[in-house]
Structure 1
């Protein structure tokens, strides 16, 4: 996936080949920054307000001064799509660091932040969403403030790599057997018609799609229970699924080599996928359900 030509920086739009920051950059040296990934369908943002709000919460949590107001951020992000003439499904990656300064653990004084945002095509993972994916379980060794969407992702990267090496889509993380989330997504356990997921505390990321799942459950009178479940509960799940801005609502049909309900995608997961497509205004021609009927 190549990056589109125009990149948003803290002061202007520049060509991607002209983007340059000094090597003494705090994001590179300390992971001293935050980021967001925003989904685009048919050239239109999905959940942009939720993502921008979370970005500013992360900035406040790490005492990082943002280069734009929220209103300016919306304007710049819309212009980013316009300048790159985006009409298709894509994603925006946006990163803000504390800036460039001589290396010192303490915050530098009078240094402006570094921001960039760019666009990449991102087709929907329709085959995976239709058939379901496999996952592994692995200990959650991350820090305690995972609600901050920071650049410190090495434990997530290692967990995802472990999953990849076992030909799996995702790694389900747990602390002493208590499931928290996945390496890059939130995870949900369905039993007796109820959807269980870890409470939105500081030790998990408060996913933007997660907020929609809660609303979808409310709309359909499906109990949404913010309560932890354990690794040993997983084989007894009626359904298991994950959510993220890039994976949408993804069924999990195998964990650690063991099938969940004989590898069949369950009705509540399908309902969440249907509600997601409606909420994101997915065109019928791009719908997973159209694909299933074909």
Structure 2
């Protein structure tokens, strides 16, 4: 089945969609993105993703391509047209194109480009990977300093995923100045003696939408949370660990740099947080 995608105001078959070769998203990675999960044909945490999208655009002095209400309608239309029950909606906004390549921004009246497409992911909520748990390696964090802006500059995270894959692992946690920042596409946590530890929000990490929801759930469950810097060695000595992201929800971690955590299976806190998050988010989906 050919997907229907959305490009600058038009719903098109994916093989008919195109964008200018001079678009700054292509030439300069001058673009931001969001990924919203779909469960039961409904959007998970759409409001949070829309708010973060606006923040990213504002931080880069980039124009909004449409209203939040219009954006919601486009998401829903693509889910309907592509018959997505479980999957993802990917959104990218670029600074657009003024017909040539230049380091300087184009004129202010240059319209931004907006692209959306869906990915069909049956079994997204009932993930075999979440039942098994992820194996993690650590790598140096050499990304630019504004990781709180969700840009499409994803080359190094992609390289990190491949570094992990080459040694038979699932993902990588990045380390800067001796401390874990985040995973290649997720926020990182460990649990020790019932306390959840994760890095505090700053420009060094993405302000995860799922992170915010899961920490709220943990607080409501009266779990203790410490938002502080932590090392790989601390995480290796933990009882359990996990990551959060919009596409994987809460993903247990069972190994870090070859060191097995706990019993080598998903820990009880990670499993419980995943269950509660999936239950609450599906009830609140739109």
Question: How far apart in 2 are the matches of 1:126 and 1:91?
Answer: 14
Cα deviations across residues 60-102 of structure 1 (Å, max 9, x unaligned)? 111111120112211222222223233x101011111111231
Question: Root-mean-square deviation (CA), in Å?
Answer: 1.4
Question: How far apart in 1 are the matches of 2:8 and 2:170?
Answer: 34
Secondary structure of residue in 1 paired with 2:241? strand
Question: How far apart in 2 are the matches of 1:90 and 1:127?
Answer: 15
* Structure 1 unaligned residues grouped into runs of 5+: 283-294
User: How many corresponding residue pairs?
Assistant: 279
The worse-fitting range, judged by mean Cα deviation, of 124-133 and 217-226 is 124-133
The worse-fitting range, judged by mean Cα deviation, of 34-43 and 126-135 is 126-135
* Correspondence for 2:90: 93
Question: How far apart in 2 are the matches of 1:279 and 1:188?
Answer: 21
* Correspondence for 2:135: 134
* Correspondence for 2:113: 114
* Correspondence for 1:271: 272
* Correspondence for 2:195: 194
Q: Is the 8 A contact 1:137 1:171 kept in 2?
A: yes
Provide the TM-score with structure 1 as the length reference: 0.91
Cα drift, residue 14 of structure 1: 1.9
Question: How far apart in 1 are the matches of 2:184 and 2:91?
Answer: 19
* Correspondence for 1:255: 256
Secondary structure of residue in 1 paired with 2:212? helix
Q: Is the 8 A contact 1:189 1:229 kept in 2?
A: no
* Correspondence for 2:58: 60
Question: How far apart in 2 are the matches of 1:178 and 1:237?
Answer: 15
* Correspondence for 1:155: 156
Question: How far apart in 2 are the matches of 1:181 and 1:172?
Answer: 6
The worse-fitting range, judged by mean Cα deviation, of 122-131 and 257-266 is 122-131
Cα drift, residue 196 of structure 1: 0.8
* Correspondence for 1:36: 34
Cα drift, residue 148 of structure 1: 0.4
Provide the TM-score with structure 2 as the length reference: 0.94
Cα deviations across residues 154-180 of structure 1 (Å, max 9, x unaligned)? 111111110111121110111122011
Secondary structure of residue in 2 paired with 1:199? coil
* Correspondence for 2:9: 11
Cα deviations across residues 17-76 of structure 1 (Å, max 9, x unaligned)? 221112111111100000111100011100111111111110111111112011221122
Structure 1 residues 257 and 6, CA gap change in structure 2 (3 angstroms): same
* Structure 2 unaligned residues grouped into runs of 5+: none
Question: How far apart in 2 are the matches of 1:134 and 1:202?
Answer: 26
Secondary structure of residue in 2 paired with 1:99? coil
* Correspondence for 1:217: 218
Question: How far apart in 2 are the matches of 1:140 and 1:107?
Answer: 28
Q: Is the 8 A contact 1:199 1:228 kept in 2?
A: yes
Cα drift, residue 279 of structure 1: 1.3
Question: How far apart in 1 are the matches of 2:232 and 2:256?
Answer: 10
Secondary structure of residue in 2 paired with 1:249? strand
* Correspondence for 2:174: 173
Question: How far apart in 2 are the matches of 1:192 and 1:270?
Answer: 16
Cα drift, residue 213 of structure 1: 1.0
Question: How far apart in 2 are the matches of 1:112 and 1:278?
Answer: 39
